[in-house]
Chain A
Amino acid sequence: MRRLLFKSLVQGPLTEPAPTADDAAIVELAASVNRSARKQLGRTLAIRQVDAGSCNGCELEIHALNNVFYDLERFGLRFVASPRHADVLLVTGPVTVNMREALERTYAATPDPKWVVAVGDCARNGGVFAGSPACVGGVHHVLPVDLHIPGCPPPPVALLRGLLALLESASRD
């Protein structure tokens, strides 16, 4: 193990340069991020992920944000264990009927100011599951959504670009 630790020291970081923030996302966010919220938050956002019926594909890519290539925490973005600690809810899935109440309760437990980011095609409009009686279909049917990150699932770079746009909008003076 000492050998591995030493190699990690001399090898240098594998973390890749940050992608640019998604322009479309900045436009979508302009309306929802107000000045008072920006002052409170500074340049850091705590994210609570909620799977509201995804196939777990989105979760795999959200997980990847924490790996050495994307290293989400260098931007001041971090995942937290409770909605009570969160500024952002990152919601995936077509919102199943069975998850609706849990999603609503999670939102209610998140302190203001807060944003909802709908991740993946299912969270936008139900995706391939649209029309199923077991799904509500799209996060916006249940919560006010501030930003959509499309994709099935969105690759980590797309997630990163969307989240950076949110961070920029939230910390701009």
Chain B
Amino acid sequence: MNWPHSIVTRDDWEQAGERLRREEASLLGLWGEPGFAHMALVEPEGCVVLSCACQGNRYPSIGRVHPPAIRLERAMRDLVGLEAEGLPDPRPWLRHDGAYAFLPAEGESLHQIPVGPVHAGIIEPGHFRFTANGETVVRLEARLGYVHKGVDALLAGASLERAAMLAGRVSGDSTVAYALAFSQAVEAALALSPPPRAVWLRALAAELERLANHFGDIGAVCNDAAFAIMHARFGLLREQVLRTADACFGHRLMMDRVVPGGMRCDLSPDGKALITSLLALVRKQFPELVEIYDNTASLKDRTVDTGILSPALARQFAAGGYVGRASGRKFDARRTPGYAPYDRLHFDVPVVQAGDVNARVWIRIQEVTQSAALIEQILGQLPSGPVFEPVDSRAATGPRSGIALVEGFRGDVLAWVRIGADGQVERCHLRDPSWFQWPLLEAAIEGNIVADFPLCNKSFNCSYSGHDL
């Protein structure tokens, strides 16, 4: 199913910016190509795509009235050379050449702490500039782009097969979500639907991916509060999910399994039994760990009231995933716009208002329970039949474009693709949920102590690679 797409005038483009400012619509993505700027929105009547012709490589800035668009517009200039007229922050973003002027913080007794790009742990690179008064963070500014690999440029002109591989490597932890978003966008462009069994297997893989990542994250947050036993226990659960994924689909992270046209492989013959015993293990061990999390005062002392993100900011930035849902924003791409087979599955979308580290942990805890229930339902209803149908992407009628929004573990992943008459990808853009979460981390840490930053950062767990493209 494709979204309505219109080519709009500069006035209409600016009107859309006004609707975003008044929060009558929320921004899903903003990207460009030579000659055109594109924007995806959730309007009250559904998801839409707007395109604005850029005469003289210029278009009216959305970031001028709607701050969440600022980094997207800075990136668009770095990648495509389109200028946003009136963009409030003209500094480069993904392109690193020359010195970078960090935003100032003024006042008595302030000092700066530069961190990164190479961090102390086994994590991705990025630079964080803290301005602190003693222990208290006055301002945090992130500088990203260190892992910019030029994905948009590599995708242009790639075959569908190669493009799917690239999509699956935009952010390795969300490889299933990305491959699914890309495949759905291609299928929307070509107006074809994959075999029913593939649709259900994709959801199975996506929920396994969500389980693995949520286990990893909950354990890591506890570890950053120096509570190592939880880290060890959740590491055990995560490893069991990955081993099950490996036995079921032939790859621990399930890379390159979801492809346009279906799945590259079927569930292994003993897959159902393996997943059933994985669920039994989770149901046995997980509640015990949740109880420990909830009843350990020294752990709760670190997570409750730490790094609060206000619901107003989460709404303004249209924050997806646990970041949004822990701050009152009930949005889940599996429901809006929604995609098969979730229309035939029962699940809740947990939401809380508190917005602190604890809330983001609790959303994950509840989503683990939901995912386990979803996997059970999927196994029960899994249709039989083929899992792949070859895709013929060539057409004499000219280029066709498609768009899809998929709920990864971190939030909604947007994929937009245009396929040329030769069947190759003409342009493709993939937008990570982190684009709208990174700026919120800067807001959430304000007024907290420096030592709580790892905890806040882990509770957001934004993707560097997915953001840097």
The chain A residues found within 8 Å of chain B, CB to CB, are 1, 3-5, 8, 14, 49-64, 66-69, 79, 81-83, 93-94, 96-99, 102, 106, 127-129, 131-135, 152-153, 155
Contacts and interface: CB of A to CB of B under 8 A. Distances in A.
B236 A51 contact: no
A55 B465 contact: yes
A3 B289 CA distance: 11
B239 A98 contact: no
A134 B151 CA distance: 9
Given A51-B125, A102-B125, A133-B150, A68 B235 contact: yes
B172 A58 contact: yes
A134 B150 CA distance: 5
Interface string B353-372: 00000000000000000000
Contact of B150 (A62, A63, A135, A153): A135
Contact of A96 (B122, B147, B171): B147
Interface in B224-268: 229, 232-233, 235-236, 238-239, 242, 246, 252-253, 255
A61 to B, nearest CB: 7
Contacts of A129: 149-151, 154, 166, 169
A53 B172 CA distance: 12
A98 B235 contact: no
B283 interface: no
Given A56-B463, A64-B242, A102-B125, A4 B149 contact: no
Contacts of A66: 235
A14 B236 contact: yes
Contact of B172 (A55, A69, A94): A55
Interface of B: 96, 117-118, 120-125, 145-151, 153-154, 162, 165-166, 169-173, 175, 216, 229, 232-233, 235-236, 238-239, 242, 246, 252-253, 255, 288-289, 292, 295-296, 463-465
Contacts of B172: 54-60, 153
Contacts of B145: 98
A64 B122 CA distance: 11
Contacts of A133: 150, 153
Top 3 A-B residue pairs of the complex, sorted by shortest distance between their CB atoms: A57-B172, A134-B150, A81-B120
A134 B120 contact: no
A50 B238 CA distance: 23
A50 B28 CA distance: 32
B232 A134 contact: no
A97 B300 CA distance: 42
A83 to B, nearest CB: 8
A68 B230 CA distance: 12
Contact of B117 (A99, A128, A134): A99
Given A96-B147, A99-B125, A64 B239 contact: yes
A114 to B, nearest CB: 15
B292 A4 contact: yes
Contact of A59 (B123, B170, B232, B288): B123
A3 B379 CA distance: 33
Contact of B122 (A14, A62, A135): A62
A50 B171 CA distance: 17
B146 A102 contact: yes
B285 to A, nearest CB: 9
Nearest to A120: B172
A57 B255 contact: yes
Contacts of A81: 120-121
A123 to B, nearest CB: 13
B169 A57 contact: yes
Of listed A64, A67, A93, A135, residue having the most chain B CB within 10 A:
A67
Contacts of A135: 149-150
B118 A102 contact: yes
B125 A132 contact: no
Contacts of B235: 64, 66-68
B146 A98 contact: yes
A98 B166 CA distance: 19
Contacts of A134: 148-150, 153
Contacts of B173: 56-57, 60
A86 to B, nearest CB: 11
B125 to A, nearest CB: 5
Nearest to A132: B150
Contact of A93 (B147, B150, B239): B147
A67 B239 contact: yes
B238 A96 contact: no
26 contacts: A49-B122, A51-B123, A53-B147, A53-B465, A54-B147, A54-B465, A55-B172, A59-B124, A60-B173, A63-B216, A64-B235, A64-B242, A66-B235, A67-B232, A67-B235, A96-B147, A96-B148, A99-B125, A128-B162, A128-B166, A128-B169, A129-B150, A132-B149, A134-B149, A134-B153, A153-B253
